[in-house]
Structure 1
């Protein structure tokens, strides 16, 4: 598992051609389908990081090559993608995006001894499985749900609240954590139910909530359905307050929802585009006419963390790298981060945002 392209290297050496060793790493996420926008963010973040690392000399004197794997945000396809990345001898996987993809894929990486660093999978189960090789550079949904539940109780405790989820690992998990905290605060939701993801229209569901007198709609799910629900509510002149989670932090939500996005609230990690450490990287992305929103910089940061750990360990041995990841702090575009024994960030940081004037900004 030490190096890819071994046969090609042997042949090149035999023929007298210079051999350029490579280290393969993978980035995995929904490169196609309804979440392809987010998959592109992960891909662009990893690509930029690899380019910058290689320009600085690579790691251990060798250059990095990136492999892109499409999991369609699907558990079975994620397993297939993970198996392919392992077969291709990737020593790191940046991914996956969806928790429902990361969790089954993590079992493949654990068995193969491949380091996995997810930029965005927030479901607690990912790092609760006890795999030494699994890390994430984002916060967890139990902390996100705690924040959301408290906010609902503080601001709408005397109103009718509906909590919905799309029955995915991410969406249902976030909704349940939010509901748990809301109930702890002595507030009971009026409606708690799932919705069918992938539909083109949710006007019937929205009409039902309006009839029931729902004042606040909390959505555990992805931005595509959230945007359609917001549009359906505005088309009915229904002033329901829509609140959602971190997947709403993407330009795609605003493009789908249009003017109806205005006023939508959601939780997201502290926007790394505002970090002084990220200024140069953000400028480079924007020079390429690409806005590094959502999880772009988390993908970049995952590659940074790994590269720094390899240099500190002086080795690509996965056990040495995982030990190094837990032992040291790392300076990245995400700021200075370090991991606990589970592979989670030691500091969980969720912030409230609002869609305003066609973009999301911190809630004042």
Structure 2
């Protein structure tokens, strides 16, 4: 009898274990991009809570596992291996392209679905890994928009294109430069800068001496904010333009009043979507503003849970088929994917920092 009870107890534990689905979220939870990592984490947490309150996935509750990759390629691989070892069947992440790309190999080998909320470098999906998707647009489309804008508005001025040598930063700068050059405009300066410094006054002084009128920065918001501050400290009115990582409150906090007038490209702010209104209010009720990529993290989870429901299975091949064959209603609007795992509609729009917040450029 005791053996039967023990066996029944073990069986019950096994059933309980199988009744829980593990989902990972990976990004820079510490370091200079921790603000953004928190946005991704909060988006995933809210999504998982809503999924569970609605009955879970295929009758099973979802548990979120968080992994810190520090926006570093090697640590991203370690984080991916940890999530795989934990038993995650799906990962929301990573934030940085330089983290997502090496991690994607780990997920492919382990049969884990990866949907990045924010990695924009084309290489992520150009690799052809069937398990990789993203709910953001690509940098070749972002660079096209940025290059055209530079050519249209400052084609006769001295333009500098700087990047931080990261997969994201250099990739975006190169795509922008490529389109600028296609338009017949040659930049006066193209070079890299060292990320992670506390002061960029020397770099800004060199640009001022070269009479640069427009500075395009391919990199992350911390360095962009410090360069804007350094320029304003010198009463240097260079127009600073950057990419989507500038869409975060952290940029405004670091740059302070110097943020005013900074231009950048970003996807259409999902906080303004009617589909996101209820979720946005939920965040704000918790005294949390879902700026930057929070709703993209939430949207990635929405896509996954809908795909699983359509597939009727958690098996990767069935979920991938559902992702490729259907449209999904999310806080980001209705989306679908092409054969690479990219959004079929690539959209970038212009924003400007005004009075301590970023607003659409009119």
Partner residue in 2 for 1:178: 176
Point out 4+ residue stretches in structure 1 off by more than 6 angstroms: 15-20
Among 92, 104, 110, the residue aligned to 2:90 = 92
Write out aligned runs for 1:1-364 (5 A): 13=11, 21-364=19-362
What is the rounded CA distance, in whole Å, between the counterparts of 1:110 and 1:144 in structure 2?
A: 27
Aligned length in residues: 356
CA shift digits 1:132-182 (9 cap, x unpaired): 100000000000000000000000000000000000000000000000000
What is the rounded CA distance, in whole Å, between the counterparts of 1:10 and 1:188 in structure 2?
A: 74
Helix, strand or coil at the partner of 2:118: coil
What is the rounded CA distance, in whole Å, between the counterparts of 2:98 and 2:162 in structure 1?
A: 18
What is the rounded CA distance, in whole Å, between the counterparts of 1:108 and 1:204 in structure 2?
A: 40
Give the Å deviation of 1:13: 3.8
Unaligned regions of 5+ residues in structure 2, if any? 1-6
TM-score when normalising by structure 1:
0.96
CA RMSD in angstroms, aligned pairs only = 1.4
Does the C-alpha gap of structure 1 residues 51 and 16 become closer, same or farther in structure 2, counting only changes over 3 Å? closer
Helix, strand or coil at the partner of 1:132: coil
Give the Å deviation of 1:20: 7.5
Helix, strand or coil at the partner of 1:353: strand
Give the Å deviation of 1:17: 10
Does the C-alpha gap of structure 1 residues 61 and 159 become closer, same or farther in structure 2, counting only changes over 3 Å? same
What is the rounded CA distance, in whole Å, between the counterparts of 2:182 and 2:166 in structure 1?
A: 24
CA shift digits 1:209-238 (9 cap, x unpaired): 001000000000000000000000000000
What is the rounded CA distance, in whole Å, between the counterparts of 1:33 and 1:277 in structure 2?
A: 32
Give the Å deviation of 1:242: 0.1
Is the Cα–Cα contact under 8 Å of residues 50 and 303 in structure 1 kept in the other structure?
A: yes
Partner residue in 2 for 1:5: none
Does the C-alpha gap of structure 1 residues 18 and 228 become closer, same or farther in structure 2, counting only changes over 3 Å? closer
Helix, strand or coil at the partner of 1:174: helix
Is the Cα–Cα contact under 8 Å of residues 265 and 355 in structure 1 kept in the other structure?
A: yes
TM-score when normalising by structure 2:
0.96
Helix, strand or coil at the partner of 1:355: strand
Does the C-alpha gap of structure 1 residues 18 and 151 become closer, same or farther in structure 2, counting only changes over 3 Å? closer
Helix, strand or coil at the partner of 1:217: strand
Does the C-alpha gap of structure 1 residues 209 and 326 become closer, same or farther in structure 2, counting only changes over 3 Å? same
Does the C-alpha gap of structure 1 residues 122 and 10 become closer, same or farther in structure 2, counting only changes over 3 Å? farther
Is the Cα–Cα contact under 8 Å of residues 12 and 19 in structure 1 kept in the other structure?
A: no
CA shift digits 1:254-285 (9 cap, x unpaired): 00000000000000000000000000000000
Partner residue in 2 for 1:3: none
What is the rounded CA distance, in whole Å, between the counterparts of 1:314 and 1:11 in structure 2?
A: 29
What is the rounded CA distance, in whole Å, between the counterparts of 1:149 and 1:156 in structure 2?
A: 10
